[in-house]
Amino acid sequence: MKPRDLKSRFLPALLAGTRREPLPRAGPVLGTDPHALLRALCLTGQALRFETPTAPEQIVREMWPEDVRPIIPDHLRAPILRLMNAPKCSNAAESAVAWAFASKKVRPHLFDLPRMEGFVRRQADHLGVVAQYWAQREVPAGKQNSYFDADQISEKNWTDAPSALRLKFLESLRARDAAAGRKLVAPVWARESAEVRLRLLAAMQVGLSHQDKEFLDSAAKDRAPRVKNLAKRLLARLAGTTGENPALAACLERIERTKAGLRKKRASLILQLPATVKERNANRWVIEQFAEIGLDEVACALELPLDGLIDAAEKDEYLLFAFSMMASREKKWDVLAKIAEALPDAWGRMSEAGFDEMNFADDGERNRWVQALVHPREWMPESAFPAWEWLLRRMEAQLPPPLMLHVLASKWWKKRFSGEEKPGAEEMQVFCALCPPSLRSKLRDQLQLADLEAREIGLLLLDILDGLETLT
Amino acid sequence: MAALSLKKIERIAPDQASLSAARKLVKPGVWSGLARDESGLVWGACQGSGASPYRVVISEPDAGYKCTCPSRKFPCKHSLALMWLRAEGNTPFPTDTTPEWVGEWLKRRRADEGAYDAEQGERKSSEPKSIALTATEAAEEADPKAEARAAAARERTRKDREEAIAAGLDDLDQWLADQVESGLAGFAAAAGKSCRVIAQRLVDAKAAGLAARLENLPARLYALPEAIRPLIAIEELGQLHLLAEAYRRQESLAPDLRADVRREVGWSVTRESLLADAAATRTAGTWRVAATLSEIQQDRLRRLETWLWREDARDGPRFAVLIDFVPLAVGPARSPYAIGERFTGTVVYYPSPVPLRGLLGEVSSHAQSCPDDFVLPPDGLKEAFRNYERALAAKPWLGVWPMAFRNVRVSRSGEQMFVCANDGAEGAPLLPAQADLAAPLLALECLHGLGLWNGTHLRLFLAQTSLGRWVGE
């Protein structure tokens, strides 16, 4: 009897039970003794075991994208895996490593993707197209984005890119050539969803000028109320139309203008906070109140030059904070630097209130912003972690070396290491991420004073960043 | 060259905190009496928080360690730090004679190794600890009457056990017949309780090997897709009857098969007796570590498996598995070997028609990490399954079987992944637990590898690919 016959003859009875379905006769194979039943069991079982498994008939063909980025060298793989799987690994460390991947245009090893799943999912946009594919492999087919390396995006294919990349591309194009950006958006405008239209319009704020008026006029008739409102606000920001901005009118109502001074009377501005706004919420209220107006609009409405506007507000911290936020948004670095002199904790207030409406076209802009705003000798935050972590998120890059040097040399920094409560692991990762390569050896020395946990993970992060940044 | 590397130390450390703590101790100033001997033992004293320093000894060839500190982590930070110092190679370790406390540890260690029942992981403190030690004790006692009495007692015990096993096998057959009469379509649903009862009966009958098979059967069935559970139940229960029958007829079996049957049923072979057995299969060669598996058993012992692949293609088995059983609370959590390591030595196999499990005999070069590709035979998946069938024919109760294969690819069909031959129809379902880790292999056209076939699924040990080595753990 062949194995196939054993299976076909005995299997039904073995499955159903020989009480219900007696075993068929099998001649001398089983015999007639009491063990015949068990012999059938053995033979059938062994027949099944000798079946060679075959490949399935239907195979899902996976379409992995081709990634032109080189894979990181082997010696960096283990430290990165160790960091990404460390219980204390923070978002700051993840981001810093991801940015290093992006700036060096390298990608993780394919085999490491499942071993640092969380990192890959959160930072896929920086890690190349294969990582993006990996991060989306569980997403239903209809909801997947296409896989795009930021370097590959162009005016021809930008509509296929993930939303964040598209916006970044549009912003950067607007910064270079506002008209080209507008021409790019106009043909696709009508077929985009309301949410995407809103974000595209927000991106058009970069390089906003009278040339955009026609486009904004048409957007002001959009069927989606949010798009319509934003278009109207942007129209209002165009010079000569300030009076039409209701947000500006609301703000002006709350700014009290007086004259002060003994011999020469100077303009003085005071922001009247509503009685319902408590001190702890004041900065957030300011952000919301001044979100939709520009510095020039305010100056124009108050009939003051920009410098005069800042001077006039010097006695009012909330108004200065509002102006610092507007100057950041509008990239008026000189004005921002002037405000930061009068209000050195402006960036602390921004972090506390969660201000995040900044776009930087390049590293130069980032550096000018942070150098204008942050003055470690003048002011350092009491709650170090949230403030520096916010700065890192906004910067998405390291601090300029002179600024980091000021941080490392500040009394505040030294005091952090001399007290009992030393910087924790998460905080140290933020500083490691912010530290430029030229100052890492100094930071390493100072890390020796940190608690063991903070030191270990900090050194690991610095090693990885050094390794990635020195790739050629 | 030191056998310990920082990578290896990182691997055997119980957690990151231990490594961090050890790092603080990697300073010669903290240590006194650092020395080593020619056999790879390294020792020293580390000043801890206690009044007297902790004595630490490590064994470089197999990453063994002992420290007198009260830490409940294994290895402790002191052991890790000493390994670290040694691996870095910046600290001098003068050659010295082994101090008494190191010698004592070594003696106890060897004795302990012998005292763990190699088959079942049971501690058998009453059994001889080593061949040499037994001989010495026998010479010292030299009481023929006492020896005769002991021999007679052993023989009585053996006979009693044989009778108990025979009775247990009869009960097993009866239980199997009951299951077949009731039908095996629904066996898996009630397997937990049903198997526990008969397993307990077999424990009472001193057939611990069979009992363990039955205890593990429900978990094995539940891990499988529901559709194939009845078929696997038929296979597994059929093997139990085969073993029972083979045991009853063991006198007519070839010696290797007989020894295998007896071990499967529950008779143990001590480490010393196997190493002393001149008839045991010995295979010398260059071995690579293909996989290290760690599994917690129901008896709270950790089963550590180290799978070895012999690179030279001379006669003899190509695979070997070293199995250690260590108590969960105090033993190491991982094999001291790392995947890819290479060493030269002799594996002494437990007698079997398909030798697989073994012990390390002589080791002529310590395990060193090695980035080279494994030297695999030219066979594809088809030939790998032919080898499996040959092994199955020689040993019908064969459990898992290691495979080496070339020219395969990983594919997905629905939720299940398969290792499919590029040049044939064979396709083995991949162990579902490996699905996430193996998913990147779906992107590759061709790979060569090593794996472990358990009759239903293939566990990939490692794969050699155009992107380098993938490891399945």
pLDDT digits (tens, 9 = 90+) for A397-418: 999 999 999 999 988 888 888 8
Percent of chain B with pLDDT over 90: 60
pLDDT at B128: 31
Mutate to test the interface with A, among B16, B390, B403 (most CBs of A within 10 A): B16
> Is A17 touching B (CB cutoff 8 A)?
yes
Percent of chain A with pLDDT over 90: 45
CB contact under 8 A, B183 and A15: yes
Q: What is the DSSP letter of B357?
A: B
> Is A139 touching B (CB cutoff 8 A)?
no
pLDDT digits (tens, 9 = 90+) for B239-279: 999 999 999 999 999 999 999 999 999 999 988 899 999 99
Least Cα distance to A407 among A434, A427, A389 occurs for A434
Nearest Cα of chain B lies from the Cα of A34 at a distance, in angstroms, of: 9
Nearest Cα of chain A lies from the Cα of B284 at a distance, in angstroms, of: 31
Nearest Cα of chain B lies from the Cα of A424 at a distance, in angstroms, of: 15
Residue with tokens 């190493």: B275
pLDDT at A202: 84
> Is A8 touching B (CB cutoff 8 A)?
no
Beta bridge partners of A107: A71
CB contact under 8 A, B412 and A59: yes
Calculate mean pLDDT across residues B212-234.
Answer: 94
Q: What chain B residue is nearest to A455 in terms of C-alpha separation?
A: B20
CB contact under 8 A, A60 and B414: yes
Calculate mean pLDDT across residues B312-338.
Answer: 85
Q: What is the DSSP letter of B116?
A: B
Q: What chain B residue is nearest to A58 in terms of C-alpha separation?
A: B413
Residue A43 with chain B: CB contacts under 8 Å: 238
> Is A41 touching B (CB cutoff 8 A)?
yes
Least Cα distance to B9 among B26, B32, B34, B29 occurs for B26
Nearest Cα of chain A lies from the Cα of B179 at a distance, in angstroms, of: 8
CB contact under 8 A, A38 and B176: yes
Residue B401 with chain A: CB contacts under 8 Å: none
- Nearest residue, CB atoms, A45 vs list B10, B238, B389: B238
CA distances from A146 to A106, A140, A185, A187, B124 (A): 19, 13, 19, 21, 63
> Is A49 touching B (CB cutoff 8 A)?
yes
Residues of chain A numbered 51-80 and touching chain B (CB < 8 Å): 52-56, 58-60, 62, 64, 71, 74, 78
Contact B173, A38 (CB under 8 A): yes
CB contact under 8 A, B242 and A42: yes
> Is A260 touching B (CB cutoff 8 A)?
no
> Is A452 touching B (CB cutoff 8 A)?
yes
C-beta pairs of A238-242 under 8 Å, 24+ apart in sequence: A238/A208, A238/A209, A238/A210, A238/A212, A238/A213, A239/A210, A239/A296, A239/A300, A242/A297, A242/A300, A242/A301
Task: Provide DSSP, A235-279.
Answer: HHHSTT-GGG-HHHHHHHHHEEEEEE-SSS-EEEEEE---TT--H
CB contact under 8 A, B440 and A113: yes
CB contact under 8 A, B7 and A452: no
Residue A117 with chain B: CB contacts under 8 Å: 436
pLDDT at B142: 58
pLDDT digits (tens, 9 = 90+) for A312-345: 998 899 999 999 999 998 889 999 999 999 999 9
User: B193 falls in which pLDDT band (50, 70, 90)?
Assistant: very high
CB contact under 8 A, B418 and A56: yes
- Nearest residue, CB atoms, B20 vs list A17, A117, A453: A453
Q: What chain B residue is nearest to A456 in terms of C-alpha separation?
A: B20
- Sheet with B458-465, strands from edge to edge, namely B427-429, B416-421, B401-413, B447-453, B458-465, B468-471
Q: State which amino acid sits at residue B304.
A: L
pLDDT at A146: 67
- Nearest residue, CB atoms, A41 vs list B10, B182, B241: B241
pLDDT digits (tens, 9 = 90+) for A120-147: 999 998 999 999 999 988 777 666 666 6
CB contact under 8 A, B425 and A54: yes
Peptide bond into B75 cis (omega under 30): yes
For B64, the 3-state DSSP assignment is: strand
Residue with tokens 């902790």: B54
ipTM of the complex model: 0.80
Residue B412 with chain A: CB contacts under 8 Å: 59-60, 62
Q: Which of A12-16, A360-364, B401-405, B460-464 has the lowest mean pLDDT?
A: A360-364
What is the spatial distance between Cα A472 and Cα A50, in angstroms, rounded to a whole number? 54
Mutate to test the interface with B, among A7, A10, A14, A115 (most CBs of B within 10 A): A14
Q: What is the DSSP letter of A162?
A: -
pLDDT digits (tens, 9 = 90+) for A148-157: 666 778 888 8
pTM: 0.79
pLDDT at B116: 40
* A to B CB pairs, distance under 8 Å: 145
Nearest Cα of chain B lies from the Cα of A60 at a distance, in angstroms, of: 5
User: B153 falls in which pLDDT band (50, 70, 90)?
Assistant: confident
Residue A86 with chain B: CB contacts under 8 Å: 16
CB contact under 8 A, B238 and A42: yes
Residue A39 with chain B: CB contacts under 8 Å: 241
pLDDT at B131: 30
pLDDT digits (tens, 9 = 90+) for A180-224: 889 988 888 888 888 888 888 888 888 888 888 889 888 888 888
Average pLDDT, chain B: 87
Residue B437 with chain A: CB contacts under 8 Å: 114-115
pLDDT digits (tens, 9 = 90+) for A77-87: 999 999 999 99
- Nearest residue, CB atoms, B429 vs list A38, A53, A109: A53
Residue A45 with chain B: CB contacts under 8 Å: 234-239
Nearest Cα of chain A lies from the Cα of B111 at a distance, in angstroms, of: 37
